[in-house]
Amino acid sequence: MSETVKISYGGKDFELPVIEGTENEKAIDIAKLRGLSGLITIDPGFKNTGSTTSSITFLDGEEGILRYRGYGIEELAEKSTFLEVAYLLIYGELPTQQQYEKFTREITYHTLVHEDIKKILDGFPSNSHPMGVLSSLICSLTAFYPGSLDPTRNEDAVNLSIVRLLAKMPTFAAWAYKNEVGHPVNYPDNSLDYCSNFLKMMFALPAEKYEVNPVVSKALDKLLILHADHEQNCSTSTVRMVGSSQASIYAAISAGINALWGPLHGGANQAVIEMLEAIKADGGDTKKFLNKAKDKDDPFRLMGFGHRVYKNFDPRAKIIKKAADDVLEAMGVHDPVLEIAKELEYAALNDQYFVDRKLYPNVDFYSGIIYRALGIPTDMFTVLFAMGRLPGWIAQWKEMRENGEPIGRPRQIYTGAQTRGYVSMNKRG
């Protein structure tokens, strides 16, 4: 017997079905609410509103659990590779050896981008933030592959777009950086794996020999796995929303990159390092900054802390904290901001304000410290988040399409002026 919820309004009772997921999460299905009662629901920030059912990622914020297609994030981070996880997210199962080789081969084949894209890149001033450049270059793919504008494209055509996105993202990301620093771009080296190729395009200079450090490449691969999906967050919801209008997949992913950019979302990794640097420059008094974060009259927030859904440790943060120690040791790097970060975490976790609100370190708290140790400049951090999140966005876009979901179009409660007549300018107050 399926459960229902009863609502009483205007002297009438309405019964709405309760739907249940495979992990026993429950939701009131309000699809018929307006038709039955004339009411809509309102929920700023969608704090209690599910936008879809999804079989991609399971997240239990109370227990600190994150699984992609049923596989725990901890196991994937330890045993898998980023491209294998990308396949899992997008196609639903871990690939066989043959599927994996084909997928990797195709992605490697498509790493090169049309030479005219370099002209677009050249139009950006150097010093442009690489996130803006990245989203623009991804969106420019609509011009180079206009077939992607056709919403009736068949599965093969869609798969080709997916491969192109995964293949060209590292090229664009490295080029966005080269533009920022005013260096000539490097072309892909298809003898290298996904992360090594990206690192070479990013760091190699014409006058110097560049060897990819396998420690760096492995650490980056792990970070990308940890960022690969996170169910219906701000950028993913944006991708699904834009995709629901049947715009090109490139346009939808470009919109997701822009949504990720803000400091409350993926931009927090950059903001964390800037905050830790500011604490260091101020003499390292973590208590002082903790008090600022608690002061409601001060706009300062502890960046890298708190999460809309985690009310426990973010499982990604636990893995990244350990990886930060390992990477810094392997690279022989001593970064004083790591000490500040640990001190700040300890102080926050023992402070009543943070305990009461269940605020824990999130994925962005320690990731920047690893990126720095790998030699990646601060404003590239969010670009790396985007590179990691790409398979998740693609998987969610594909699921939305395959579910035949309707165009996303929330309602509102209007609070503006009621109807009034036009007043000519010379008679206005």
Q: Considering the complex, state which of residue 221 and residue 364 has its C-beta at the smaller distance from ligand CMC.
A: 364
CA neighbor of 395 nearest in space, from 198, 228, 251, 220:
228
Q: How many Cβ atoms from other residues are within 10 Å of residue 188's Cβ?
A: 20
We find the least distance from the C-beta atom of residue 106 to ligand CMC, in angstroms, to be 29
C-beta nearest to ligand CMC: residue: 306
Q: Considering the complex, state which of residue 118 and residue 358 has its C-beta at the smaller distance from ligand CMC.
A: 358
Query: Could you say which of 229, 314, 364, 379 is catalytic?
Result: 364
Q: Is 129 a catalytic residue?
A: no
Residue 234 phi, psi (nearest 5): -60, -50
77's tokens: 């981070």
We find the least distance from the C-beta atom of residue 313 to ligand CMC, in angstroms, to be 12
Q: Considering the complex, state which of residue 194 and residue 305 has its C-beta at the smaller distance from ligand CMC.
A: 305
Query: What string of DSSP letters covers 45-69?
Result: GGTT------SSEEEETTTTEEEET
Residue 192 phi, psi (nearest 5): -105, 160
What is the contact surface with ligand CMC in residues (CB under 6 A)? 45, 230, 233, 264-266, 268, 293, 301-308, 357, 359, 362-364
Query: Could you say which of 110, 307, 314, 379 is catalytic?
Result: 307
Helix H or strand E segment including 7:
strand 4-9
Quote the longest CA-to-CA distance of the chain.
80
| Rounded Cα gap, residues 396 and 417, in angstroms | 39
Q: Considering the complex, state which of residue 153 and residue 308 has its C-beta at the smaller distance from ligand CMC.
A: 308
Name the residue type at position 384.
L
CA neighbor of 108 nearest in space, from 163, 160, 178, 145:
163
Q: Considering the complex, state which of residue 25 and residue 295 has its C-beta at the smaller distance from ligand CMC.
A: 295
CA neighbor of 92 nearest in space, from 128, 117, 60, 57:
57
Catalytic residues: 307, 364
